[in-house]
C-alpha cells in the first residue's frame, strides 16, 4: 500500500463516494445553509470517525487516549495574503532588564516559515506514524477562555463561515495533498500573517523605555580574533533561539514511483536537457536506491557514444619513497619524487620543460663569461666592442637575458650576472592572482638577476626552493631569508635557473674581513646577531620538513635591504635591536642559497635513515664520516660550522667528549677550540651541545625524535634576550653593522 493510500485511509477518503458527493454539490442550488443547521452539523462531527484499520491513540503509559479536546472558538482572525518574507523584530535582550507589566490579554504566538522550509517540515512527518490528536492551544490562559465565552454570541456568524472554509480546505483534492501532512482545523497557510481584531485599541500603549547599555573598552594589549568569517565556534555561540529543521532526503524515504520531475527536487540534476540522465535510464519499477544499483550501472552500456567519467585523480597520501634506508641524492630517488609529487612540477608558475630539446649554446655562454672575467671591469668594454655579449632568449618567454659576467663557478653549476629586459613581467604560465606573486610577492623580478646554469640539468633545486616558499608562506619572517627561484628552463643539455641577485657578498667575505682586523675575530654582538638569523631560518625550514643539506658560510649571502616593513628609506637603523625586527632590523640578515642537496623529508617514511654514498670531508657530520645513518644531523653540523666560523674565524673541528663510550644516539662530540672567558660561554656551550649532539635532547622534543625544534628555539630565545639587553654596550651592534655595510659598498 502506498503512502497516499495510507493517508487516504486515515482520513476516511477510501469509503467516500466522491462522484455522488460531487453530484449532490452540483445539484444544490444554494450552498448557504441556515446557521443552526451548520451549527448542528459541526456539533455532530466533533468526534473523530473510526474506520477499520485505524490505529488506536495511546498515551505514554499505553492507555487509550480520551476524546480529543474540542476546538475553541476564539476571536475572528483576519488573514492577509503576502508573497514575501516577513521580517519580525524579536526581543533578545538579557532577562536582567526591567520587568514589563504583563497585559491582561495574552499576546499571540506566531511562527512563520518559508514555503521550502514548510515543505521540508511536512515531509518529515509523511511516514505512516500513529495519528496525533488535534493540537489545541496549550498555552492559552483561563482569562482568554472566559473572554472567548463572552464573545461566542457575537462571533457565531463568523465561526460558521470559518467552519465552512476549513471544511472545504480539509477535504481538498488528492493531487494537492500528495507529499504533505494532514492539516488540522487550526492550520493556516504558510505564507499568511495573522491580524487580530483591535480589541484592545482603547488601551493606551505603554511608552517605550530607554535602556542604558555600557560598552566596555578593550585594553590596549587586546588582540582581536583573526579567525575566518563565520567560524564554526563563533556561529555556535551566537545562534538565535530558533531554528528551521532541515531533513536529509534520501531515495528510500521518497515514493518508489515518483516521476523524474519530482526526483529533481531532491537530487542534483545532471544533463537535464539533452542527453538522458541516470534517473531517466532507470526503469519505473526499480527503486531509486537499491543494492543492485552499482552492478546495474556497471553492466549498462552508455548510449550515444558517451564515455563515463572516471574517478577524480586524487594524489596518494603518505610518503613517496618507502625505503627505510637510502641515499637522498640518488638520481632514481629524486626522479621518483619529482614524478609522483602533487601538484606536478609542470604546474608550477615559471617552470618551462623542454627536456626533449637541446639548447646548444652553453659552451658559447661559458666562453664569453670566462673572457669577461679574465679581462676585468675595463676589459669588458673591449670584449663588447669585439664580440657583443651573449643574449639568451627562450621561445616560450618574452624576456631577453644579456650575460654580463661570471659571479661564481661551482663544480657543476656556474653562476652568471644577467640583465633582464622585462623585469616588470612576472613569471607564470597564465593570468591570475597567486599568493606570493604580483602584489603579494616577497621577491620581485629585477633588472639585474643571477643565472645558474646546471649541467647535467635537473629541476631539483627549483623544486626544493619552491617547496620551502610554499610551505612557509609569503608572510613568514624566515621566507625573506631563503632565496627564491624566479624561473626555470629545462633542456636536454642545460638547465637555466634564474635567481634574485644579492650584491652584498657572503658571510665568508665578512668573516675574512674581520680576520684582517687587529682582533682577528668578529664582535660577539654581530656574531650573535647572525647566529640568531641562521637559527630562526633553519628552525623554520625544519618545521616544514625541508633540509638544506649544504650549510656553510659561502652559501649564506648577506641581506642588507634598505626597504623594510617597519622603516622608510630615509629612516636610519635603530641603535636598539629588537627580536621582532622593529627599527629596520628585519631588513638585515642572511639569505640561504644553493639548495642542490636539499631534502624533502615528507617524501620519505618517518623513520627513514640516509646513507652517504659519496666521498666525505672533514666538514661533514660525524655520522657521514663514520658511515652511520643520519637525517637531520647534516644541517645541525653545518649550522654549528657556520657559527664556529663567526666566533673563531676558522672551520670547525670536533673531538669526542664521552671518553670513547657509547651513549644514547651514538658518540658525543664537542668543538676543539676553547671559548673566550669574556664571551657568553653558557649560551655558546649550549648552542654547540644541541647542534653537535642532537640525539641527547630527544627527551625534550615532541614524539621523542628529531628535529630538535624546541631545543633550538630555547637557545635562540636566550640569544635574543641577551642581545636585546646588550646591543648598545661598547661600540654597539649598530656600529658593527655599519662597518659591514661600508665593507660591502667598497667591494662593488
Question: In this predicted model, what pLDDT tens digit does every residue of 327-375 receive, in sequence order?
Answer: 999 999 999 999 999 899 999 999 999 989 999 888 899 888 888 877 7
Measured between alpha carbons, how far is residue 658 from residues 620, 644, 670 in Å?
A: 20, 21, 9
- In this structure, are residues 403 and 416 in contact, taking their beta carbons and an 8 Å threshold? yes
Residue 382 counted as domain residue: yes
Task: Give the relative orientation of helices 331-340 and 460-472 as an angle to the nearest 10 degrees.
Answer: 50
Q: Under DSSP, is residue 645 helix (H, G, I), strand (E, B) or coil?
A: helix
Q: What is the pLDDT of residue 501?
A: 95
**C-alpha to C-alpha distance for 20 and 186, rounded to whole angstroms:** 28
Give the mean pLDDT of 643-658: 94
Domain match, 520 and 488 both? no
φ/ψ of 557, rounded to 5, equals -85, 155
Higher pLDDT, 460 or 249: 460
**C-alpha to C-alpha distance for 421 and 419, rounded to whole angstroms:** 6
Q: What is the pLDDT of residue 224?
A: 66
Among residues 352, 396, 355, 390, the alpha carbon closest in space to that of 371 is found at: 390
Residue 193 counted as domain residue: no
- In this structure, are residues 324 and 609 in contact, taking their beta carbons and an 8 Å threshold? yes
Total number of domains constituting the chain: 2
> What is the residue range of 394's domain?
349-422+445-500
- In this structure, are residues 606 and 574 in contact, taking their beta carbons and an 8 Å threshold? no
Q: What is the pLDDT of residue 257?
A: 44
Picking from 172-186, 421-435, 539-553, which range would have the lowest pLDDT averaged per residue?
A: 172-186
Q: What is the pLDDT of residue 691?
A: 97
Q: What is the pLDDT of residue 370?
A: 82
Q: What is the pLDDT of residue 44?
A: 53
Higher pLDDT, 503 or 199: 503
φ/ψ of 263, rounded to 5, equals -65, -30
Report whether pLDDT(522) > 60: yes
Q: Which residues does residue 490 pair with via DSSP β-bridges, in sequence order?
A: 353, 495
**C-alpha to C-alpha distance for 417 and 169, rounded to whole angstroms:** 88
Among residues 261, 248, 262, 252, the alpha carbon closest in space to that of 287 is found at: 252
107 Cβ neighbours under 8 A, 6+ residues apart: none
Task: Please compute, for residue 56, the number of CA atoms within 13 A of its CA located in the half-sphere on the CB side.
Answer: 8
Q: What is the pLDDT of residue 236?
A: 57
254 Cβ neighbours under 8 A, 6+ residues apart: 262, 263, 266, 288
Give the mean pLDDT of 311-335: 84
Domain match, 726 and 577 both? yes
- In this structure, are residues 733 and 526 in contact, taking their beta carbons and an 8 Å threshold? yes
Report whether pLDDT(323) > 60: yes
Give the mean pLDDT of 608-630: 91
Domain match, 597 and 658 both? yes
Any alpha helices (H) in 567-672, and if so which ranges?
A: 622-625, 633-648
Domain match, 516 and 376 both? no
Angle in degrees, CA 458, 335, 637, rounded to 5 = 75
Picking from 445-454, 561-570, 736-745, which range would have the lowest pLDDT averaged per residue?
A: 561-570
Q: What is the pLDDT of residue 265?
A: 43
**C-alpha to C-alpha distance for 10 and 18, rounded to whole angstroms:** 16
Structure letter (DSSP) for residue 604: B
Among residues 106, 112, 105, 75, the alpha carbon closest in space to that of 90 is found at: 112
- DSSP β-ladder status, 556-560 and 588-592: antiparallel
pLDDT tier for residue 118 given thresholds of 50, 70 and 90: confident
- In this structure, are residues 577 and 585 in contact, taking their beta carbons and an 8 Å threshold? yes
Residue 222 counted as domain residue: no
**Per-residue pLDDT tens over the stretch 451-502:** 999 989 999 999 999 999 999 999 999 999 999 999 999 999 999 999 999 9
**Per-residue pLDDT tens over the stretch 297-311:** 444 443 344 444 445
Domain match, 477 and 523 both? no
pTM flag (> 0.85): no
**C-alpha to C-alpha distance for 184 and 461, rounded to whole angstroms:** 75
Q: Based on the number of CB atoms within 10 Å of its own CB, is 244 exposed (0-12), middle (13-18) or buried (19 or more)?
A: exposed
Residue finishing a domain among 500, 526, 547: 500
Structure letter (DSSP) for residue 700: G
Task: Give me the CATH number covering residue 650.
Answer: 1.10.510.10
**Per-residue pLDDT tens over the stretch 265-275:** 444 444 444 44
**C-alpha to C-alpha distance for 334 and 356, rounded to whole angstroms:** 19
Residue finishing a domain among 481, 500, 519: 500
Among residues 597, 625, 632, 629, the alpha carbon closest in space to that of 611 is found at: 629
Which helix (H) or strand (E) covers residue 260, if one does? helix 260-263
Residue 106 counted as domain residue: no
Structure letter (DSSP) for residue 328: T
Max mean pLDDT among 147-161, 311-325, 370-384 falls in 311-325
Max mean pLDDT among 39-48, 89-98, 152-161, 669-678 falls in 669-678
Higher pLDDT, 641 or 700: 641
Domain match, 554 and 694 both? yes
**C-alpha to C-alpha distance for 180 and 126, rounded to whole angstroms:** 6
Q: What is the pLDDT of residue 428?
A: 45
Domain match, 473 and 523 both? no
**Per-residue pLDDT tens over the stretch 629-638:** 999 999 999 9
How many CB atoms sit inside 10 A of residue 389's CB? 17
**Per-residue pLDDT tens over the stretch 391-425:** 999 988 889 999 999 998 766 789 999 999 988 76
**C-alpha to C-alpha distance for 555 and 506, rounded to whole angstroms:** 7
**C-alpha to C-alpha distance for 447 and 503, rounded to whole angstroms:** 13
Max mean pLDDT among 205-209, 221-225, 480-484 falls in 480-484
The distance in angstroms from the start CA to the end CA of the chain is 94
Q: What is the pLDDT of residue 278?
A: 38
Q: Under DSSP, is residue 560 helix (H, G, I), strand (E, B) or coil?
A: strand
Residue 111 counted as domain residue: no
Report whether pLDDT(25) > 80: no
Q: What is the pLDDT of residue 101?
A: 57
Higher pLDDT, 728 or 171: 728
Residue 605 counted as domain residue: yes
Domain match, 471 and 547 both? no
Measured between alpha carbons, how far is residue 525 from residues 491, 512, 558, 679, 733 in Å?
A: 47, 17, 16, 10, 6
Domain match, 511 and 470 both? no
- In this structure, are residues 426 and 484 in contact, taking their beta carbons and an 8 Å threshold? no
Give the mean pLDDT of 679-699: 95
Q: What is the pLDDT of residue 97?
A: 56
Among residues 373, 698, 647, the alpha carbon closest in space to that of 531 is found at: 647
**C-alpha to C-alpha distance for 370 and 374, rounded to whole angstroms:** 6
- In this structure, are residues 711 and 689 in contact, taking their beta carbons and an 8 Å threshold? no
Give the mean pLDDT of 521-547: 97
Q: Based on the number of CB atoms within 10 Å of its own CB, is 496 exposed (0-12), middle (13-18) or buried (19 or more)?
A: buried
How much is the mean pLDDT over the chain? Answer: 74
φ/ψ of 75, rounded to 5, equals -70, 160
The DSSP line for 406-450 is EEE--SS--EEEEEES-TTS---SS-S--TTSGGG-SS---SEEE
Q: What is the pLDDT of residue 6?
A: 85
736, 741, 742, 747 alpha-carbon torsion, rounded to 10°: 130
Task: Give me the CATH number covering residue 381.
Answer: 3.30.200.20
Domain match, 527 and 477 both? no
Domain match, 532 and 459 both? no
Q: Under DSSP, is residue 187 helix (H, G, I), strand (E, B) or coil?
A: coil
- In this structure, are residues 321 and 336 in contact, taking their beta carbons and an 8 Å threshold? yes
**C-alpha to C-alpha distance for 737 and 739, rounded to whole angstroms:** 5
Query: With DSSP H G I counted as helix, E B as strand and the rest as coil, what are the percentages for the chain, rounded to 5?
Result: 35, 10, 55
Domain match, 457 and 599 both? no
Residue 418 counted as domain residue: yes
Percent of the chain with pLDDT over 70: 55
Residue 654 counted as domain residue: yes
**C-alpha to C-alpha distance for 39 and 45, rounded to whole angstroms:** 10
Which helix (H) or strand (E) covers residue 9, if one does? helix 3-11
- In this structure, are residues 504 and 744 in contact, taking their beta carbons and an 8 Å threshold? yes
pLDDT tier for residue 519 given thresholds of 50, 70 and 90: confident
Report whether pLDDT(598) > 90: yes
Amino acid at each position: 500500500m502506498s503512502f497516499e493510500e495510507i493517508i487516504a485511509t486515515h482520513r476516511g477518503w477510501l469509503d467516500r463516494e466522491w462522484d455522488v458527493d460531487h453530484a449532490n454539490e452540483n445539484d444544490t442550488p444554494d450552498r448557504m445553509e441556515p446557521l443552526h443547521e451548520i451549527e448542528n452539523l459541526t456539533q455532530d462531527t466533533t468526534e473523530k470517525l473510526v474506520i477499520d484499520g485505524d490505529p488506536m491513540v495511546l498515551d505514554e503509559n499505553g492507555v487509550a487516549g480520551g476524546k480529543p479536546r474540542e476546538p475553541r472558538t476564539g476571536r475572528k482572525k483576519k488573514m492577509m495574503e503576502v508573497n514575501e518574507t516577513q521580517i519580525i523584530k524579536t526581543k533578545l535582550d538579557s532577562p536582567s532588564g526591567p520587568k514589563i507589566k504583563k497585559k491582561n490579554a495574552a499576546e499571540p504566538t506566531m511562527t512563520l516559515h518559508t514555503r521550502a522550509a514548510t515543505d521540508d517540515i511536512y515531509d518529515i512527518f509523511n511516514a505512516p506514524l500513529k495519528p496525533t490528536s488535534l493540537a489545541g492551544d496549550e498555552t492559552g490562559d483561563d482569562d482568554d477562555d472566559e473572554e472567548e465565552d463572552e464573545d461566542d454570541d457575537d462571533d457565531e456568524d463568523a465561526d460558521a463561515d470559518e467552519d465552512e472554509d476549513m471544511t472545504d480546505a480539509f477535504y481538498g483534492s488528492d493531487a494537492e495533498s500528495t507529499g504533505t501532512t494532514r492539516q488540522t482545523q487550526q492550520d493556516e497557510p504558510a505564507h499568511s500573517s495573522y491580524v487580530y481584531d483591535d480589541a484592545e485599541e482603547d488601551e493606551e500603549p505603554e511608552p517605550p523605555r530607554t535602556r542604558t547599555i555600557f560598552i566596555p573598552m578593550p585594553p590596549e594589549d587586546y588582540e582581536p580574533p583573526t579567525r575566518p568569517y563565520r567560524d564554526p565556534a563563533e556561529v555556535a555561540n551566537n545562534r538565535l533561539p530558533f531554528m528551521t529543521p532541515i531533513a536529509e532526503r534520501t531515495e528510500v524515504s521518497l515514493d518508489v514511483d515518483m516521476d523524474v520531475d519530482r526526483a529533481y527536487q531532491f537530487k542534483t540534476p545532471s544533463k537535464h536537457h539533452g542527453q538522458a540522465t541516470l534517473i531517466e535510464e532507470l526503469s519505473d519499477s526499480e527503486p531509486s536506491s537499491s543494492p543492485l544499483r552499482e552492478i546495474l550501472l556497471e553492466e549498462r552500456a552508455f548510449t550515444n557514444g558517451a564515455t563515463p567519467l572516471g574517478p577524480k585523480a586524487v594524489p596518494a597520501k603518505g610518503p613517496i619513497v618507502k625505503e627505510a634506508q637510502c641515499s637522498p641524492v640518488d638520481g632514481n630517488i629524486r626522479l621518483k619524487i619529482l614524478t609522483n609529487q602533487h601538484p606536478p612540477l609542470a604546474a608550477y608558475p615559471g617552470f618551462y620543460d623542454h627536456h626533449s630539446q637541446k639548447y646548444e649554446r652553453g659552451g658559447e655562454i661559458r666562453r664569453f663569461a670566462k673572457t669577461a672575467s679574465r679581462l676585468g671591469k675595463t676589459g669588458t668594454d673591449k670584449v663588447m666592442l669585439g664580440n657583443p655579449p651573449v643574449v639568451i632568449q627562450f621561445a616560450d618567454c618574452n624576456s631577453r637575458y644579456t650575460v654580463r659576467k661570471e659571479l661564481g663557478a661551482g663544480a657543476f653549476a656556474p653562476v652568471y650576472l644577467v640583465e633582464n629586459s622585462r623585469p616588470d613581467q612576472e613569471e607564470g604560465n597564465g593570468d591570475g592572482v597567486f599568493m606570493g606573486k604580483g602584489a603579494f610577492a616577497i621577491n620581485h623580478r629585477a633588472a639585474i638577476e643571477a643565472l645558474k646554469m646546471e649541467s647535467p640539468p635537473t629541476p631539483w633545486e627549483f623544486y626544493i626552493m619552491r617547496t620551502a616558499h610554499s610551505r612557509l608562506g609569503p608572510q613568514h619572517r624566515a621566507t625573506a631569508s631563503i632565496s627564491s627561484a624566479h624561473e626555470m628552463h629545462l633542456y636536454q643539455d642545460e638547465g637555466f635557473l634564474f635567481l634574485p641577485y644579492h650584491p652584498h657578498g657572503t658571510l665568508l667575505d665578512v668573516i675574512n674581513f674581520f680576520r684582517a682586523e687587529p682582533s682577528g675575530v668578529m664582535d660577539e654582538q654581530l656574531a650573535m646577531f647572525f647566529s640568531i638569523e641562521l637559527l630562526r631560518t633553519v628552525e623554520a625550514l625544519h618545521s616544514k620538513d625541508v633540509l638544506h643539506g649544504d650549510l656553510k658560510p659561502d652559501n649564506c649571502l648577506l641581506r642588507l635591504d634598505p626597504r623594510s616593513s617597519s622603516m622608510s628609506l630615509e629612516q636610519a637603523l635603530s641603535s636598539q635591536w629588537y627580536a621582532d625586527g622593529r627599527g629596520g632590523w628585519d631588513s638585515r640578515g642572511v639569505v640561504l642559497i644553493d639548495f642542490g642537496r636539499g631534502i624533502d623529508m615528507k617524501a620519505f617514511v618517518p623513520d627513514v635513515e640516509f646513507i652517504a654514498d659519496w666521498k666525505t670531508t672533514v666538514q661533514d657530520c660525524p655520522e657521514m664520516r663514520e658511515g652511520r645513518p643520519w637525517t637531520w644531523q647534516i644541517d645541525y653540523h653545518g649550522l654549528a660550522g657556520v657559527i664556529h666560523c663567526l666566533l673563531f674565524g676558522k672551520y670547525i673541528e670536533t673531538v669526542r667528549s664521552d671518553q670513547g663510550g657509547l651513549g644514547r644516539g651514538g658518540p658525543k662530540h664537542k668543538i676543539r677550540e676553547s671559548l673566550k672567558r669574556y664571551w657568553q660561554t653558557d649560551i655558546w656551550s649550549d648552542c654547540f651541545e644541541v647542534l653537535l649532539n642532537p640525539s641527547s635532547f630527544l627527551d625534550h622534543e615532541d614524539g621523542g625524535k628529531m628535529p630538535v625544534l624546541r631545543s633550538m628555539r630555547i637557545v635562540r630565545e636566550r640569544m635574543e634576550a641577551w642581545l636585546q639587553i646588550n646591543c648598545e654596550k661598547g661600540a654597539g651592534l649598530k656600529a658593527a653593522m655599519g662597518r659591514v655595510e661600508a665593507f660591502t659598498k667598497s667591494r662593488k
